[in-house]
Amino acid sequence: MNTVLLRLFEQHDVSEKDRYEIGQMYNFLSEEKKQRLIKDFEIFIKKVKKFQKQLKEEKDILIGETINEIKQIIEQTKLKK
């Protein structure tokens, strides 16, 4: 893999999972797009991390809602007995 890309991963504290996925995509890019990714890596990784944060927040909300629904079902079941 490109040593500049590896250095960027280190500089921006990119997770092993993201390193793997970005590396896989990188291999299929044209040379022009590879250079653009390296040039704009900071912007790219900020967008990735922002998107991941939003996904985590939404996941946490959904998990919380699901837990509340389960609690309600349990309470309703207890009341019926």
- Cα end-to-end distance, the chain, whole Å: 63
For residue 32, count CB atoms less than 10 angstroms from its CB and return exposed for 0-12, middle for 13-18, buried for 19 or more.
exposed
What is the C-alpha radius of gyration for the chain, rounded to an integer number of angstroms?
21
The confidence score (pLDDT) of residue 21 equals 95
Condensed to tens digits (0 to 9), the pLDDT of residues 23-76 reads: 999 999 999 999 999 999 999 999 999 999 999 999 999 999 999 999 999 998
**What are the tokens at 76?**
């309703």
